[in-house]
A and B are shown apart, each in its own frame.
Chain A
Amino acid sequence: MSILSSDYRTLPVKDPDALREPGVVELVTFLLRFDPLAARVVAKRNRATLDPHELYRRVRNEGLERQATKVRLQQFARAIPLVGTPLPSEELRWIERNNPAAGVSR
């Protein structure tokens, strides 16, 4: 039974603790579920503030190792286990080049 009704997408989360104070790590982890390419772009753009231990923990908790491997998140958190086949590096670089930061309109 659902306790809420919304037109917005609802994302299942295995570890509700992740929703207490979500930051970049949680955003990257949740994006892995439905847009792994965006997850990588966000991770790369926020690399300076991305905690690798926390990213590893969240990815493991959510069971998203395969999705993380696909977009080579091991580059940001080396401990994430390799599961499945990563996308070719060249394709990921191309995605990053073609998704420039759009900025924020004020």
Chain B
Amino acid sequence: MTDPSVQAAAAILQRHGIRYTVVGGQAIARNAATTTQDVDVMVTTDDYHDAVERLSLDKGLTLALEGGAVTRFGIQSLGGVPLDVVDAGVFAGKKTGAEFFDFLLDEESSESDGILYASPEAVWYTRLLTKRWRAYAEKIVTNVIDGLAADHLDRVEAIGKRFGTDAILKERIAYVRDELKRPDLDALIRRA
């Protein structure tokens, strides 16, 4: 069942003809428990500013925060639930934002109820590339406890190699792997 926040965001994005894939907690929520309410969507770099401009004029949204590669709107019908629009270029490393976006859509997204969601591996990749990667590393450990396989980290590494971000990711992935060595973790991990 599609989350009402995602459904509302998708309706607005489709109204404006904006190509996107859901990332962040709502994409993870398809595979592991999260308490996420807000919706993060990634759009291609070429379309980012145009998409933000179109969404700024939508009467169903309130512009909450503008800055750099992420613009936050509030979905009015849901009491201001955040809709974060993210520029794919931030995660493209040595390639273009359009290349990363195409990769995300073609190889790392799947559709449910007409909505595209990024894979957990792609979400972990984007999270570990942000400046707040340590907090996201904690979330990754929580995702693993909730049943996401830790070996998804191998795929994160592979994505890093493909986009030339592997040097940045190396230390961060090692940090997550170290955290996953916690002795009590095995007893906590939810088995399918």
Contact = CB atoms under 8 A, between A and B. Distances in A.
B176 interface: no
Given A35-B142, A38-B35, A102-B37, A94 B190 contact: no
15 contacts: A9-B188, A12-B187, A33-B184, A34-B145, A37-B135, A37-B138, A37-B139, A38-B35, A87-B134, A90-B132, A91-B132, A91-B134, A91-B135, A98-B38, A102-B35
B33 to A, nearest CB: 9
Q: Is the interface of A mostly helix, strand, loop or mixed?
A: helix
Interface of B: 35, 37-38, 132, 134-135, 138-139, 142, 145-146, 184, 187-188, 190
A70 B182 CA distance: 13
A36 B142 CA distance: 9
Contacts of B142: 34-35, 37
A3 interface: no
Interface residues of A, number: 20
B17 to A, nearest CB: 29
B138 A36 contact: yes
Interface in A1-47: 9, 11-12, 33-38
Closest 7 CB pairs of A and B: A91-B135, A91-B132, A34-B145, A35-B142, A87-B134, A37-B138, A95-B135
